[in-house]
Structure 1
Amino acid sequence: MIRTYEEAVAWIHGRLRLGMKPGLKRMEWMMEKLGHPERRVRAVHIGGTNGKGSTVAYLRSILQAAGYSVGTFTSPYVEQFNERISVNGEPIGDEEIVELVRVVQPLADELERTELGGPTEFEVITAMMLYYFGKQHIQDIVLIEVGLGGRLDSTNVIYPLVSVITNVSYDHMNILGDTLGQIAAEKAGIIKSGVPLVTAVNEPEAWEVIVKTAAERKAKTYRLGVDFTVSDQQTTAEGEQFSLVTPFSEYRDVRIHMPGAHQVENAAVAVMAAELLRLGYSFLIDPEHIAAGLASAAWPGRFEKVSDKPLVIVDGAHNEAGIRALVDTVRAHYPDKRIHVLFAALADKPLAPMIRLLDELADTITFTTFDFPRAAQAEALAALSSHPQKDAANDWTGWIRAQQEQMGDDELLVVTGSLYFISDVKKQFR
């Protein structure tokens, strides 16, 4: 019997030994045993390669501004495990985690004795979330972030009110496929019959797959740049300002505080999803809720300033598209700074193109490693760099302290790479 929070989290993380096992049969088995809590969850399902978490943050903030109680399911966590299951941005309590594990653990043990095999860590957490929001604490709406891919992701047992696919780019190619078309086919797996889809997908190869799948499932599609458009975008000291036209409304000079053109796209997608909730499901969302929600939205570990003097920004850019967005944002907001980069990543990522982009940005670049099973070694990362001012440092905590002591006002330290690494870094600054 699980008695403490520490025991509960240890049991959950212990499921990592099972690795990743794509497929929905184990989830469907657990949902039936739990009385199908997923059928009682009013949800927006959010997939895509990058921007899922930020889109969740924008949409949650809009819905909260309109007075709704909003559940969220996101991954990975940045500061605390509990934040994966949150209500109105607040992680659920330790005792609630213990209670949920007590519900799911016997099912996991029973499932392990069947031909399906035991559930993975992510399947266990997904089951906990659906039980929490479907049986224990029903919310007005729950925003559910896809874990990996979509078609075979454990979250795909839900039937949402709206589906979102932020974008499609290269990531997890060993699992999802090595072409944009193959990756898009996995992402498109969350498109449900008759459920409207909002997307920012712009790569022709990926879009061809998305639009074909949506047509087959009679899912009305709203595409950024075609069905809803951004204009008058400008970088500000606080973030970004832009105007947005949807098929139903126009929003002038709205502001967000998460910097970057990619965040404008994420915000626009969130607004379009909110519009569909308003028009299709009678959510009372007014223009002032949109403006207030966008202005107050924040997401940890995404171009987050953790120190002013010296200036330090952390960003969980963990694939090529994420690094490209980071580089563009640094150049737009800090064009006159001398840039120092500290980078750590998982070894199974496409590292060479990521490092090539960082080489072009940085005045100096340092590679490190961290305590995680799949973390790449510092020397291996450095070997992929052609930067004349590159270095490798295994003790990243000591390196950051030393760097901070010698940085001037005209310098910026960017700490980037794996979100698991960013989680560790944020703990040091906190």
Structure 2
Amino acid sequence: MVRTYEEAVAWIHGRLRLGMKPGLKRMEWMMEKLGHPERRVRAVHIGGTNGKGSTVAYLRSILQAAGYSVGTFTSPYVEQFNERISINGEPIRDEEIVELVQTIKPLADELEQTELGGPTEFEVITAMMLDYFGKKNIQDIVLIEVGLGGRLDSTNIIYPLLSVITNVSYDHMNILGDTLDQIAAEKAGIIKSGVPLVTAVNESEAWDVIAKTAAERKAKTYRLGVDFTVSDRQATAEGEQFSVMTPFAEYPNLRISMPGAHQVENAAVAVMAAELLRLGYSFLIDPEHIADGLATAAWPGRFERVSDHPLIILDGAHNEAGIRALVETVRTHYPDKRVHVLFAALTDKPLERMIQRLDELADTITFTTFDFPRAAAAEQLADLSSHRHKASTGDWVGWIGGKKNQMGSDELLLITGSLYFISEVRKLLKNNAK
């Protein structure tokens, strides 16, 4: 019997040995045993390649500003495991994790003896979340982020009020497919019959798949740039300012603190989603709730300025589209800075194309590795770079300490790559700051 928080988390992470097993059969089995808690969760389902977490943050902040209690399910975590299941941005308590594991572990043990086999780590965490929000602590609404893909993701057991697909680009190609239409077909799997869809997908190859699926399922679609639009965007010292026009209202001079054109898109998607919750499900959301919610929204590890002197920014850009958005944001907001890049990534990413884009931005670039099963070696990453001033290090902790002491006011240290790596760096810098 699991009795402590440490035992509970160790058991959950122990499920990693089972790897990924796409499909919903094990989730259906567990939901049946639990009395179908997923049917009692009022949810928004958020998928896409990039921007899921930021979109969750914007929409949560809007709903909170309107006075609602909002559950969220996100991954990966940045500071502590518990934040994957949160209420109003606050991770659930250690004791609650223990109670949930005490409920789910006997089911996992029983399931392991069937032909379906034992549930994976992500399936276990998803079942914990649905049991929590469906039975133990029911919320006004729960924002559920897709883990990987959509069609066969364990979160796809839900039937949401609203579906969101932020965008479609290349990532996890060994699982989702190596063309945009294949990847889009997996993302489109979360579209449910008669459930409205909000999306910022703009690549024609991906959009054709999304539009066809939505039409087949009679899901009314709201597409950024067509059904709702962004205008008057300008970079500010604090982030971004812009206006959003939906089919139902206009929201001028909105502000966000997370910089980048991609964050403006994520925020606009959240505004459209909030509109549909107001109109379709009687959520009492006023224009000031939208403005206040966007202005106060934050998401750790996404172009996060963790130090001003010296200037250090963390960004979990973990695929080519993420790196592209990061490079554009740095050039827009810090055009006069000398940029030093520290990069670490997982081996299953399009590393050559990612590094090529960073090479074009950086004045110097240093590659490192970290303690994670799929982390690429520092030398492997450096071999893919053609930069004149490239280096590699196995000691990123010491390297950051040394770099901080050398930097001047005209320099920027940009630490990017895997979100798992960003999580480790963030912990180090926060502890040092204390």
Q: TM above 0.5, one fold?
A: yes
Separation in 2, partners of 1:13, 1:50: 24
After superposition, give the CA deviation of every residue in 1:343-394 in whole Å (9 maximum; x if it has no partner): 0000111100000000000000000000001000000000000000000001
2:345 counterpart residue number: 345
Structure-to-structure mapping, 1:246-325, within 5 angstroms: 246-325=246-325
1:18-417 to 2 correspondences below 5 Å: 18-417=18-417
Counterpart-to-counterpart distance in 2, 1:109 and 1:328: 48
**In structure 1, what is the Cα distance between the partners aligned to 2:310 and 2:288?**
36
1:58-106 deviations in Å (ceiling 9; x for gaps): 0000000000000000000001000000000000000000000000000
> How far does residue 259 in structure 1 lie from its aligned partner after superposition?
0.4
TM-score of the two chains, using structure 1 as the length reference: 1.00
Query: How far off is 1:247 after superposition?
Result: 0.3
Question: 1: distance between equivalents of 2:229 and 2:285?
Answer: 20
- Partners in 1 of 2:246 and 2:373 — Cα distance? 45
Instruction: Give the whole-Å Cα distance in 2 for the aligned partners of 1:414 and 1:401.
Output: 14
Partner of 2:195, secondary structure, is: coil
Where does residue 10 of structure 2 map in the other structure?
Answer: 10
**SS across alignment from 1:365:** strand
CA distance in 2, matches of 1:413, 1:184: 35
> SS at the partner of 1:152?
coil
What is the DSSP-based 3-state SS (H/G/I as helix, E as strand, rest coil) of the residue aligned with 2:251?
strand
Give the Å deviation of 1:48. 0.0
Letter in 1 for 2:304: E
1:165 corresponds to which letter in structure 2?
A: I
1:197 Cα offset (Å): 0.1
Amino acid at match of 2:162: V
Normalised to the residue count of structure 2, the TM-score between the two structures is 0.99
2: distance between equivalents of 1:73 and 1:315?
Answer: 21
Aligned with 2:202: secondary structure?
A: coil
Rounded Cα–Cα distance in structure 2 between residues aligned with 1:62 and 1:427: 28
- 1:240 corresponds to which letter in structure 2? E
**SS state of the match for residue 298, structure 1?**
coil
Q: Distance in 1 between the 2:363 and 2:116 partners?
A: 52
Q: Which amino acid aligns with 2:154?
A: S
Match of residue 420 from structure 1: 420
1:400, distance to aligned residue in structure 2 (A)? 0.2
After superposing on structure 2, the runs of 4+ consecutive aligned residues of structure 1 that deviate more than 3 Å are none
Give the C-alpha shift of residue 30 in structure 1: 0.2
| Offset at residue 409 of structure 1 (A) | 0.3
> What is the letter of the counterpart of residue 422 of structure 1?
I
Letter of the 1:381 partner, please give it.
L
What fraction of aligned residue pairs are identical, expressed as a percent? 85
Distance 2:248 2:138 in 1: 30
* Local SS of the residue matching 1:252: strand
Shift of 1:330: 0.4
Distance in structure 2 (CA, Å) of the matches to 1:254 and 1:319: 28
CA distance in structure 2 between the aligned counterparts of 1:178 and 1:111, rounded to whole angstroms: 33
Q: Deviations over 1:188-210 (max 9, x none)?
A: 00000000000000000000000
- Give SS of 1:402's match: helix
Deviation, 1:326, is 0.4
Displacement of 1:306 in angstroms is: 0.8
Tell me how far 1:117 sits from its aligned partner: 0.1
2:86 aligned counterpart, secondary structure: strand
Secondary structure at the counterpart of residue 71 of structure 1: strand
Distance 2:374 2:252 in 1: 45
Cα distance between partner residues in 2 of 1:233 and 1:66: 25
